[in-house]
């Protein structure tokens, strides 16, 4: 049986403007991009930051859906439901689209639909602007055709996805505890060494212990299909994990392939991202053969005679989690850039190979526990349910 559809503009108000008669004393919230996680959750301590009433600006009400409209935040799935925001209305970052569902569209159903990989793929293809400042235009949202079952059916689907998402979040919380264990081991063994490296003007730098390289630019001239190879971009690199659910391809001739081919043990860091995510690192473990990387990423290859890749990853994870990468980044209106040269000059603590090996052994035990957990099953279950829900199979 076919599923009824509708244009989003017919069931949503898109980017509504605050009325000019809004009371200046009205309590409002301001929601920056950094307050929204890639799981669609709002950091309440940031969301409760009070802002001023901005008459005539795009605003949201409790229950609206926010969609990131810039790359790379859009590619990473930044979207949020404002159902739990403290104040009844607020103003979001200018990098969000605001969608206000009508009485025909359940807000939670709308959130899960617009947070899905399916919508993200449509949005990425419809982006406009330059490579570094691409945006999802409001007109693409207006023309978007969405599945629109009966309201009761929408609520049923949203309830099922809620339960699956709760399970996934519990698994992720368990993974976060394992990550904090590894970080605690790192600080226990090397905290003093890290502090000394940051304070000393004569300490080794990142460039002293390995090779730093920016990836290859994506451009129309590399889309001829003559030397097509897969490549990894910022949307694939998460904190200590590589997501291969959406891998793109472009041309890399023999010379470029030699320069940009990923090797097992390479560490990839987000070069251009929102401020709180810039420098987010993960290790490439040869998940795909003959794969390259884009210039939205910086690659670090350790000098393995003195530095184990797993130890280097732990240093970069520590810098990322403590905001060191954010501190050195340069910022435009919407994107922060790590900068290969700035990254190269960062101090790097270097214990002996024997000490590194002892740490890596302990860290790998924690990683093995993490690998045998059910997180992957929970993510796969949610993705499967989401796909079935919006294709009329749930």
What letter does residue 297 receive in the DSSP assignment?
A: E
Distance CA 100, CA 123 (A): 18
pTM, two decimal places: 0.61
What is the predicted pLDDT for the residue at 182?
Answer: 83
First to last CA, the chain: 12
In sequence order, what E strands does 9-148 have? 12-14, 29-31, 60-61, 65-68, 79-81, 89-92, 96-101, 145-147
Read out DSSP for 40-64? Answer: S-B-HHHHT-B----TTSB-EETT-
Residues lower than pLDDT 70 in the chain? 1-2, 38-51, 131-132, 172, 175-176, 222-223, 333-334, 370-387, 389, 391-394
Q: How many CB atoms lie within 10 A of CB 337?
A: 20
86: Cα within 13 Å, side-chain hemisphere: 15
Per-residue tokens: 271: 């070069």
Place of tokens 């793929």: 121
Q: How many CB atoms lie within 10 A of CB 59?
A: 22
Place of tokens 């403590």: 322
Q: How many CB atoms lie within 10 A of CB 372?
A: 9
* Contact of 215 with 293, CB cutoff 8 Å: yes
Place of tokens 């978007």: 144
Q: What are phi and psi of 306, to 5 degrees?
A: -130, -15
Distance CA 70, CA 135 (A): 4
* Contact of 114 with 65, CB cutoff 8 Å: yes
What is the predicted pLDDT for the residue at 48?
Answer: 62
Distance CA 138, CA 142 (A): 6
Closest listed residue to residue 10, CA positions, set 120, 101, 71 = 101
Give the chain's domains with CATH numbers.
Answer: 5-146 (3.90.220.20), 204-348 (3.90.220.20)
Helices then strands (H, E): number in the chain? 12, 21
Distance CA 386, CA 307 (A): 42
Place of tokens 């996805």: 161
* Contact of 26 with 18, CB cutoff 8 Å: no
* Contact of 74 with 272, CB cutoff 8 Å: no
């Amino acid at each position: 049986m076919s599923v009824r559809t509708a244009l989003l503009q017919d069931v949503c108000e898109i980017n509504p403007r605050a009325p000019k008669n809004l009371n200046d004393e009205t309590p409002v919230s301001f929601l920056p991009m950094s307050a929204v996680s890639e799981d669609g959750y709002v950091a309440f301590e940031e969301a409760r930051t009070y802002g001023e009433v901005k008459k005539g600006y795009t605003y949201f009400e409790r229950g609206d859906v926010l969609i990131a409209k810039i790359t790379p935040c859009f590619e990473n799935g930044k979207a949020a439901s404002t159902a739990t925001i403290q104040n009844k209305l607020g103003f979001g970052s200018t990098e969000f689209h605001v969608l206000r569902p009508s009485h025909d569209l359940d807000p939670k159903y709308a959130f899960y639909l617009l947070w899905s990989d399916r919508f993200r793929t449509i949005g990425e293809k419809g982006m406009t602007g330059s490579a570094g400042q691409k945006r999802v235009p409001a007109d693409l949202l207006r023309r978007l055709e969405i599945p629109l079952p009966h309201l009761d059916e929408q609520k049923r689907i949203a309830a099922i996805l809620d339960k699956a998402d709760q399970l996934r979040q519990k698994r992720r919380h368990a993974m976060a505890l394992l990550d904090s264990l590894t970080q605690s081991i790192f600080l226990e063994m090397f905290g003093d060494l890290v502090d000394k490296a940051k304070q000393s003007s004569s300490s080794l730098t990142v460039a002293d212990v390995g090779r730093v390289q920016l990836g290859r630019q994506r451009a129309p001239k590399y889309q001829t299909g003559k030397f097509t190879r897969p490549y990894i971009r910022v949307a694939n690199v998460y904190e200590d994990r590589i997501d291969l659910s959406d891998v793109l391809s472009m041309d890399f001739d023999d010379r470029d392939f030699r320069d940009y081919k990923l090797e097992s043990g390479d560490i990839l860091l987000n070069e251009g991202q929102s401020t709180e995510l810039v420098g987010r690192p993960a290790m490439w473990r040869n998940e795909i053969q003959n794969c390259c990387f884009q210039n939205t990423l910086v690659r670090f290859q350790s000098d393995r005679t003195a530095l184990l890749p797993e130890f280097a990853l732990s240093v970069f994870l520590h810098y990322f989690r403590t905001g060191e990468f954010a501190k050195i980044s340069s910022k435009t209106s919407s994107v922060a850039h790590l900068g290969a040269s700035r990254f190269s000059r960062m101090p790097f603590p270097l214990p002996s190979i024997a000490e590194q090996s002892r740490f890596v052994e302990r860290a790998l035990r924690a990683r093995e526990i993490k690998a045998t957990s059910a997180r992957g099953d929970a993510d796969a279950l949610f993705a499967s349910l989401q796909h079935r829900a919006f294709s009329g199979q749930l």
